[in-house]
Amino acid sequence: MEQEGTTMLILVTTLTVLLLIVVIIVIFSIFQKRKIKFLFEKNEAEQRFEDEIIKSQLETQEQTLQNISWELHDNVGQLLSVAKMQLNMLEPQVANGQKSILDETGEIISKSLQEIRTLSKLLNPETVKNMGLKEAIELELQRFNRLNFLNAKLNIIGDEVEINQKDEIILFRILQEFLSNTVKHSKTPKLDVTLTYSEDELTIKAQDFGVGFDEKDIKKGSGLINMKSRAKLIKTEFSILSKIGKGVILTLVYPLKTNKV
Amino acid sequence: MSLATFRLFVPLSELLAAIIGTIYFYKYKHTHLKYFLFILWYIVLTEFTGWYSSHYNVLGFFDKEGIHYNLWMYNLMYFIFYPAVLWIYSKSINRVVYVKTIKFFIICYILISIINWLLIQNFKYEWSELPSITGSLFLAISIIFYFMQLLRSDRIIIYHKKLLFWISTGFLIFYVGSIPFNIKFTEYALLKGIHNLFLIVWVLAIIMYLLFAFGFIWSDKEDDID
């Protein structure tokens, strides 16, 4: 009898303890689930806030670029035009020996005028929108080719697809930032940009063959962070690969379906 | 099914858990949880040598009446098991107070075991229930610390994809669930042979090892920082 009593006692206490453990685990699970949900919501709100900030930053930047573009076109451009005209007026009065210098100066002014007009176009978001991504990139590469120290080339694979104009500008600005870094630092003789249109994505690949960099050293540069956060804003995959002496490859994969026009 | 056959499922589930743990070792080999697998294999080893020893009456000790005891293997196993597992928890928890408490538990457990063997119970012929019960309680508290840490953390941790969550659940069910049994173990179950009671403990053990096995399969690869 006593034995049986003990058996029962052990059985009952074991079951009670087990029940307690199950309750602990269930309570834990419920709390943890609620916490996870709360954290998700918080993260989402933070993400939205961050996106807003980046968007407004981009808008301000585009506005500034537009102002600079107008200034270049209407102010500096006009001044150069006037200079050209006055030079032309001066031409009949100049002695023959100095004519060649005058001609050269005139040519330099003409070239400057052209450069400033292209630059003004590429800086102005409106013209980039009107031209489309492909032409804007082409114009930018032509500008580099005129500098005469690198050979830039644009390849198009697949049929061109129309994409959201706002996104187009962002893609173009990312590429522009990359290209201007290439021109400044890479010492590359060659620059290839490839646009690949497929059914559901546009892949932009830009490659130089210059000095490259060590990926660890440059990760924290603000230019790179800017490029990344912009890409994230339009749900674009962004990657930069580089090794010292092996050049740099920038790849942007822009999804066409989720970012419909 | 006879009790003796059912008894076999315990070492089999142990072995299963250890094998699955080895297969999925890549998921946690860079964390402290790797030592858990070593402990698991050690338990399997003890279980099988224990079986061998009682079957052939070798490796153990004979008392004055000529009865063979291999309890020293299990006593030794738990003497290693509790400090090792507590240490794993101390390494998986960040909060200093908790870590210090667990370290205090480890020292306490070792002291209690040694004092128990020196003054109260015999290491060779008696099941050391006192250290075992305190060890279980320390383990339960450490597990609660771990759960509290998961709840407090600001990071999104998908707990059911964490290996240690499943290990902890298994531990709670077996080690805490068998405390009532442990209290009366020697007295009633072993000497007077109420074998039906063993069934509870075996079922709990099998549940624990299946939870381990499930955890090994289901969990995600552990992060480097816990």
Whether residue A255 has pLDDT greater than 80: yes
How much is the pLDDT for B114?
A: 92
From chain B, pick out residues whose CB is under 8 angstroms from the CB of A7. 188, 194, 196-197
Whether residue B194 has pLDDT greater than 70: no
How much is the pLDDT for B193?
A: 55
How much is the pLDDT for B23?
A: 94
Q: Is residue B223 part of a domain?
A: no
Percent of chain A with pLDDT over 90: 7
What distance in Å separates residue B60's CA from the closest CA in chain A?
A: 29
| Residue B65 lies in domain | 3-218
Residue B198: pLDDT band with limits 50, 70, 90: confident
Q: Is residue B133 part of a domain?
A: yes
Whether residue B15 has pLDDT greater than 90: yes
Q: Is residue B147 part of a domain?
A: yes
Domains of chain A (ranges; CATH) run: 149-261 (3.30.565.10)
Ranking A81-85, A153-157, A225-229, B222-226 by mean pLDDT, the lowest is B222-226
How much is the pLDDT for B58?
A: 79
DSSP codes of every residue in A229-251: HHHHHTT-EEEEEE-TTS-EEEE
For β-strands B68-69 and A248-255, DSSP reports them as: unpaired
A25 Cβ neighbours under 8 A, 6+ residues apart: B169, B172
State the Cα–Cα distance between residues A131 and A118, nearest whole angstrom: 12
Of residues B141 and B66, the one with the higher pLDDT is: B141
Tell me which range, A45-59, A96-110, A123-137, B132-146, is most confidently predicted by mean pLDDT. B132-146
ipTM given for this complex = 0.70
A250 Cβ neighbours under 8 A, 6+ residues apart: A175, A178, A204, A205, A206, A207, A239, A240
Q: Which residues pair with A72 in a beta bridge?
A: none
Q: Tokens 């930047």, residue?
A: A61
Assign 3-class secondary structure to B148-192: HHHHHCCCCCCHHHCHHHHHHHHHHHHHHCCHHHHHCHHHHHHCC
Instruction: Give pLDDT tens digits for A176-218.
Output: 888 888 888 888 888 899 989 888 888 999 988 888 887 776 6
The per-residue pLDDT of chain B, averaged, comes to 86
How much is the pLDDT for B80?
A: 93
Neighbours of A21 (CB within 10 A): 19
CATH code, domain with B40 = 1.20.1070
Percent of chain B with pLDDT over 70: 92
Q: Is residue B178 part of a domain?
A: yes
Region A132-161: what's the mean pLDDT? 85
From chain B, pick out residues whose CB is under 8 angstroms from the CB of A32. 150-151, 157, 159
> Residues of A at the B interface (Cβ-Cβ below 8 Å)?
3, 6-7, 9-11, 13-14, 17-18, 21, 24-25, 28-29, 31-32, 35-36, 39-40, 43
User: Which token pair is A172?
Assistant: 């173009």
State the Cα–Cα distance between residues B74 and A23, nearest whole angstrom: 31
The per-residue pLDDT of chain A, averaged, comes to 85
How much is the pLDDT for B156?
A: 73
Ranking B76-85, B143-152, B153-162, B173-182 by mean pLDDT, the lowest is B153-162
User: Which token pair is A232?
Assistant: 């994230």
How many domains does chain B fold into? 1
Q: Give the residue among B130, B101, B103 at the shortest CA–CA distance from B115.
A: B130
Q: Is residue B224 part of a domain?
A: no
How much is the pLDDT for B226?
A: 44
Core vs surface per residue A81-105: b (16+ CB within 10 A) or e: eeebeebeeeeeeeeeeeeeeeeee
Q: Is residue B226 part of a domain?
A: no
Q: Do A21 and B200 touch (CB under 8 A)?
A: no
Q: Is residue B183 part of a domain?
A: yes
Q: Is residue B66 part of a domain?
A: yes
Residue B2: pLDDT band with limits 50, 70, 90: confident
